[in-house]
Amino acid sequence: MSYYGYKKYKPVNTKEKAQKSLAKLLKKNPGIEPVIIEGRTLSKSWWGKAWNVNLESYADYENRIERGKSYVRQNAVLNLKIDKGSVSAIVQGSKAKPYDIEIRIDALSDAKWKQVITLCNHRIDSLEQLVEGKFPEELAGLFTEKKYGMFPSPAEIHFSCTCPDFASMCKHVAAVLYGIGARFDKDPMLFFTLRNLDGKELIRKSMEKKVESMLKNAGKKSKRCIEDKDIAEIFGL
């Protein structure tokens, strides 16, 4: 049986191979960053969960993304590093040698980002609130809304894998995409790094008037643009 030309996926147990490969990689490079999933939940943070929901909401990925779940649960993502607009990863497959994966995410357009900032004005009180996803429900919808939100569409996600799989999205790439969501559990601000955005700008714009008033009352000269160091000083960021 197949779906849209893809053979029905049969899960492969790569856990033992992954453990051996990870041990070898750690000897060569102690700085690698494996994705370790504990339990059945792939992600626990608001940003990680929202990332996974976004991926699973697209018909383009419907019969592909699920194949990565078993791999990421088996801790087959041996290394995953997020940079501005890109992700590099190593994934253990059924073969002895792990595969290299590269993912590139298009930057959010200036128009979308300006709209997000405008609608967030005075509605986020702290960096902690942003990181923990504890903002008004309507903002959560704004962040994830497909047409104007910050989460990428399939057309904005580009990837490659060194495996011989002919599919445009192989299970190794799918595992890395889920691994990204898991990585947000440790550092939600990596979402903004991945989309090449300045998360602190949301705080600056949302709190600008409040900060200006507090700086004035504190005897500091008010500035049109509030610096990061001033926000950090007042709110302990």
Q: Which of 45, 59, 80 is nearest to 185 (CA)?
A: 45
User: pLDDT digit string (tens) for 13-68?
Assistant: 778 888 899 999 999 998 899 999 988 899 998 899 999 999 998 878 877 788 89
Residues 194-218, mean pLDDT to the nearest whole number = 70
Flag the least confident range among 12-21, 164-173, 218-227: 218-227
pLDDT for res 4: 42
pLDDT for res 80: 97
Torsion sign, CA atoms 33, 38, 42, 47:
negative
pLDDT for res 150: 86
Asked if 164 and 52 touch (Cβ cutoff 8 Å), the reply is no
Residues 6+ apart with CB under 8 A from 37: 72, 73, 75, 182
- pLDDT-derived band at 212, boundaries 50, 70, 90: low
Query: How far apart, in whole angstroms, are the C-alpha atoms of residue 67 and residue 12?
Result: 10
- H or E element that contains 16: helix 15-28
Phi and psi dihedrals of 198, rounded to 5? -100, 100
pLDDT for res 174: 95
Q: Is the pTM of this model over 0.85?
A: no
The number of C-alpha atoms within 13 Å of 34 and in the hemisphere containing its C-beta is: 26
Residue 224 token pair? 């049109």
Flag the least confident range among 63-67, 83-87, 117-121: 117-121
| Alpha carbon 122 to chain centroid, angstroms | 25
Residues 6+ apart with CB under 8 A from 181: 42, 43, 47, 48, 49, 51, 52, 55
